[in-house]
Amino acid sequence: MTGEKNRDYDEITSFLGEFGPFQIAAFVLLSASAIPNGYMGMCMVFVADVPAHRCKLSINSTDNGTELEVPFHEQITRVGPDMCSRYKLIGNSTETARLGNDTEGCLDGWVFSTGEYTASIVDEWDLVCDNAWKVPLSTSTFFIGVLIGSYTSGQLSDRVIPESPRWLLQRGRVEEAELVIRNAAKRNGVPAPEVIFRADECLELMQNEGGEERQAQTYTFVDLIRTTNMRNITFILLVLWAVTVMVFYGLSLNTGNMHGNAYLNSFISAVTEIVAYIATWLLINRAPRPTILFSTLLFCGIMLLIIKLVPEDMHAMSQVLALLGKLGVSGAYAFLYLFSTELLPTVVRNMGLGVSSTAGRIGSIISPYVVYIGVYSKILPYIVFGTLSILAAVVSILLPDTRNCKLPDHISQVKPIRSCCSPKEASTAPSRTSPDCKEMSNFPDKLSKTV
């Protein structure tokens, strides 16, 4: 019995197995809840595409009031010198009307090409020329809707997926935690002990930050910045999430601006993401966490900045470099979820991940405006995204390595950042080396430890 007193949560729940039907069901449901959000976010590549357009030129007949419209496929020079102006019409009769040399704005609206898309929000709302600035505004508003949809989707998933027993124990709700574990054992077809969580075995989980027995301690968002170490971790995560998500969605939205077929470009971009996710999955247990994040962000930044050196007529080379940049930031984006979960303690993990994700959504709202800069300079968005990626890569070096380490439960157990925490907090933070840090052979095993 004395030896059992030192068992922790992972050891107590080890009878569930590493990756049984319960863990698989939770993984699938959580993954499925993200599918609509991905679709809604990426459909703006097509919904907000700007088709070829020109000013509408109407010649009203003074005889019967009929209106003659110049078809879009006619030479644009007959209508105006560019897509946002037209030659003034001299005369108002069908027999005498002709185009002069003076120009004016598109007073009667625009005519849009339907060669690639039959309709989009751009032609329905006339988001071109003087109204072109509304395109990133509409896209940003759309991402706000995606943010709300993500929250709603998440709420629905809580309705189906049980609460984390680890979190319930932190809240002192032992009976509910036991019920979840027993249901998981039933799903996995394994017998559960008569008593799963004993007071002496879970003493560490049920203690507060001061080591005293937990009463009714409540954690708030303020706890994310209460201590120096926690404040450093939170600030770094906010920066990384904002930059990574901004670059990811910026490059995704820019897919429609690449040369060639937009559908083919989007397909290649999606394949690039899949490759990034598989590569990240293979590296998770083979490289330190900060190294993975630093390498992916640095690779993205370098690829994007190299585009500046490519001649403007070499479109294929520029697109390859942009897709390679997308490869890097996709890996960083997927990896941030895991890394953030391992850095944040159980008592504030939900709040911390929520705040970090919100910072990322702010980045996605800003990204359309950076992409819109490409109207004035095609290379400038890549320079902005590349520079921010490299800066984020440098910041990521400060984070501690959490590979093969148990999840921290209390704020005092959070590993300090590298060379940026006070000596007092660094000395009180427990060492996350063996036996606290143990080998985990595969990713599914890692998932089982977060139940």
pLDDT digits (tens, 9 = 90+) for 2-49: 444 456 777 788 888 878 888 888 888 877 777 776 776 677 777 777
Six token digits for residue 406: 């148990």
More confident residue, 126 or 384: 384
pLDDT of residue 266: 85
Q: For 440, left (φ over 0), alpha (ψ -120 to 50), or beta?
A: beta
Query: Is the pLDDT reported for residue 390 higher than 90?
Result: yes
Mean pLDDT in residue range 231-260: 89
Average pLDDT, the chain: 77
Six token digits for residue 62: 């003074």
Amino acid, res. 89: L
Q: For a pLDDT cut of 70, what percent of the chain falls above it?
A: 72
Mean pLDDT in residue range 243-253: 92
Reported as a single tens digit per residue, the pLDDT across 316-344 is: 899 999 999 999 999 999 999 999 999 99
Across 128-132, 188-192, 337-341, which has the greatest mean pLDDT?
A: 337-341
User: CB-side exposure of 142: number of CA atoms within 13 Å?
Assistant: 22
Query: Is the pLDDT reported for residue 141 higher than 50?
Result: yes
Query: Is the pLDDT reported for residue 443 higher than 80?
Result: no
Query: Is the pLDDT reported for residue 150 higher than 60?
Result: no
Query: Is the pLDDT reported for residue 255 higher than 50?
Result: yes
Residue 39 φ/ψ, nearest 5 degrees: -65, -45
pTM for the predicted model, two decimal places? 0.71
Q: Which residue has the tokens 């070499």?
A: 314
Mean pLDDT in residue range 163-174: 78
Question: Is the Cβ–Cβ distance between 166 and 35 less than 8 Å?
Answer: no
Q: Which of 245, 233, 248 is nearest to 289 (CA)?
A: 233
- Residue 365: band (very low, low, confident or very high) from pLDDT cuts 50, 70, 90: confident
pLDDT of residue 393: 96
User: Rg of the chain's alpha carbons, rounded to an integer?
Assistant: 28
Query: Is the pLDDT reported for residue 171 higher than 70?
Result: yes
- Residue 148: band (very low, low, confident or very high) from pLDDT cuts 50, 70, 90: low
- Residue 192: band (very low, low, confident or very high) from pLDDT cuts 50, 70, 90: confident
Question: Is the Cβ–Cβ distance between 216 and 222 less than 8 Å?
Answer: no
pLDDT of residue 109: 79
Torsion of CA 29, 32, 36, 37, to 10 degrees: 80
- Residue 241: band (very low, low, confident or very high) from pLDDT cuts 50, 70, 90: very high
Q: Which architecture, in CATH terms, is 3-48+138-448?
A: Up-down Bundle (1.20)
pLDDT of residue 444: 37
User: Which of these ranges, 81-95, 204-218, 412-426, has the smallest mean pLDDT?
Assistant: 204-218
Question: Which residues are bridge partners to 86 per DSSP?
Answer: 104
249 Cβ neighbours under 8 A, 6+ residues apart: 41, 143, 363, 364, 367
Q: Which of 318, 312, 311 is nearest to 382 (CA)?
A: 318
Query: Is the pLDDT reported for residue 152 higher than 50?
Result: yes
3-state secondary structure the chain: CCHHHHCCHHHHCHHHCCCCHHHHHHHHHHHHHHHHHHHHHHCHHHHCCCCCEEECCEEECCCCCCEEECCCCCCHHHCCCECCEEEEEECCCCCCCEEEEEEECCCCCEEECCCCCCCCHHHHCCCCHHHCCHHHHHHHHHHHHHHHHHHHHHHHHHHHCCCCHHHHHHCCCHHHHHHHHHHHHHHHCCCCCCCCCCCCCCCCCCECCCCCECCCCCCCHHHHCCCHHHHHHHHHHHHHHHHHHHHHHHHHHHHHHCCCCHHHHHHHHHHHHHHHHHHHHHHCCCCCHHHHHHHHHHHHHHHHHHHHHCCCCCHHHHHHHHHHHHHHHHHHHHHHHHHHHHHCCHHHHHHHHHHHHHHHHHHHHHHHHHHHHHHCCCCHHHHHHHHHHHHHHHHHCCCCCCCCECCCCCHHHCCCCCCCCCHHHHHHCCCCCCCCECCCCCHHHHHHCCC
| Separation CA 242–CA 249 (nearest Å) | 11
Q: What are the Cα distances from residue 72, in Å, to 47, 83, 123?
A: 21, 11, 14
Q: Which of 172, 161, 254, 156 is nearest to 212 (CA)?
A: 172
Question: Is the Cβ–Cβ distance between 264 and 255 less than 8 Å?
Answer: no
More confident residue, 368 or 237: 237
Give ranges for CATH 1.20.1250.20 in the chain. 3-48+138-448
Q: What are the Cα distances from residue 22, in Å, to 17, 162, 279, 444?
A: 10, 10, 26, 12
